[in-house]
Amino acid sequence: MAASGGALWRRRAAALSRAARSVCGRAAGAERLAGRLRARRREEEEEEEEKKREVPGNPARRRARELAALQRVHPNVLARVLKQGAVYQDEEVVVLNKPYGLPVHGGPGIKNCVTDVLPILAKMLGNMRAETLHLCHRLDKETTGVMVLARSKEAADRIRLLFKTRQVEKIYWAISVGHPDPAEGIVEIPVVEKEVQSHQPHYKVSEHHLRHSLNAFFPFLWAHPLFIIQMTLAPNYRLSPEDGKVLKTRKNRSAEIAVTRYRILASSSACSLLELQPITGVKHQIRVHLAYGLGCPILGDHKYSHWNKLAPQKLPEITLRRLKLEQSKARHLPLHLHAHRLSLPLGASGGKWIDLVCEPPVFFHRTLRKLELDIDKN
């Protein structure tokens, strides 16, 4: 009987010990969870404090972040945004007003792009069995405005051929730094690619995205300045530095013929609102012709504001004053280039001519108001 009582007490003691360990374990787990929650709360408070410090003192940077927000959203959210920006659709095409900061194609460091969400967008615009949409042309990441998508591969091939054979009339709007002289004309200067050296950290986007994948193989790469490929002019004539005579240059085989028509719509605050018609379709030709051909780079075009280097755009004092911006914050200005209008024939026979117009984004209109670039008064 005593032995039986002793066994009972031992069982009870073991049970109490297990219960105590369980309670201690739960308490320890709760403490760890509470610690994680406190750490997370501290992080959120620090992020909130950083935003409070940054936003009032740097509105240009805040707007830059807002314009790049589509890079961080879920693909379904991006598809809904593009659907809301649809300005025209029929059985052959869908026409969007492309937002700022959204690349057409993917690449290093790019989370979202137009091509990635085309299947989702097709289903939102049609039904769950809808065929994916097809790109007909492209716009730069920083360019806003009219973008044509085809509902079938056959329609896409037809429309691409229209662009290639220059049967599409394209009209862009841009705000330039400076006033082109004359106020209306045609720039016809070939364009070619070249390497430009950058010592500016905020321009080393390619280095930032490629460092982790390439550093193991090419550790010497990051010890040297970054070279970036951009477009530049390749004129057929130049002035002799000795006597000032006009000399014909040797033709660059890589140069492409580029023709851009322009006219001033309004001028104020050392800036101009320009209407631009690219006759040819060379990469970055509008930006290169304005910056290097006319000496009037597009506002916010930091890539083509200097001839032999990459650096933030230098703005006139009156422009900075009207924009309420410091020169040190000018690097956050977005590119003010907008695909305003597109006219092209549709249908298998080309008998249906459509004229598509997209309004510039809010930031573009805001800049027009600040610079007093009033189209109606000019």
Same domain for 154 and 270? no
Distance CA 179, CA 365 (A): 19
DSSP strand pairing (246-248 vs 86-89) = unpaired
pTM: 0.73
Residue 290 has pLDDT above 70, yes or no: yes
The percent of residues above 70 in pLDDT, for the chain, comes to 68
Report pLDDT digits (tens) over 263-286. Answer: 999 999 999 999 999 999 998 999
Q: How far is CA 307 from CA 68, 156, 233, 288, 319, in A?
A: 27, 37, 10, 10, 21
DSSP strand pairing (337-346 vs 144-150) = parallel
CB atoms within 10 A of CB 256: 16
Residue 208 has pLDDT above 70, yes or no: no
The pLDDT value recorded for residue 340 is: 98
Give the CB-side neighbour count of residue 165, counting CA atoms within 13 A. Answer: 9
Report pLDDT digits (tens) over 109-128. Answer: 788 899 999 999 999 998 77
Structurally, the chain folds into a number of domains equal to: 2
Q: How far is CA 267 from CA 57, 100, 291, in A?
A: 30, 24, 17
Question: Could you tell me if residue 47 is inside a domain?
Answer: no
Domain CATH number, residue 285: 3.30.2350.10
Residue 28 has pLDDT above 80, yes or no: no
Same domain for 145 and 272? no
The answer to which of 93-97, 349-353, 355-359 has the lowest mean pLDDT is 349-353
Peptide bond connecting 182 to the previous residue in cis, omega within 30 degrees of 0: yes
Question: Could you tell me if residue 132 is inside a domain?
Answer: yes
Mean pLDDT of 340-364: 90
Strands (E), 199-292: 226-233, 237-239, 246-248, 259-268, 271-278
DSSP assignment of 123-188 equals HHHS-TTPPPPEE-S---TT-EEEEEEESSHHHHHHHHHHHHTT-SEEEEEEEEES--SSSEEEEE
The pLDDT value recorded for residue 257 is: 87
Same domain for 135 and 175? no
Question: Could you tell me if residue 283 is inside a domain?
Answer: yes
Same domain for 272 and 147? no
Same domain for 112 and 185? no
Same domain for 284 and 304? yes
Distance CA 207, CA 150 (A): 35
The pLDDT value recorded for residue 224 is: 44
Calculate ∠ Cα 292-319-298, nearest 5°: 30
Residue 220 has pLDDT above 50, yes or no: no
DSSP strand pairing (226-233 vs 337-346) = unpaired
Mean pLDDT computed over every residue of the chain: 80
Domain containing 349 equals: 166-191+254-377
Question: Could you tell me if residue 144 is inside a domain?
Answer: yes
The pLDDT value recorded for residue 268 is: 95
The pLDDT value recorded for residue 53 is: 47
Question: Which residues are the active-site residues?
Answer: 140
Same domain for 153 and 138? yes
pLDDT tier, 38 (very low <50, low <70, confident <90, very high otherwise) = confident
Distance CA 245, CA 352 (A): 52
Distance CA 354, CA 64 (A): 34
Question: Could you tell me if residue 306 is inside a domain?
Answer: yes
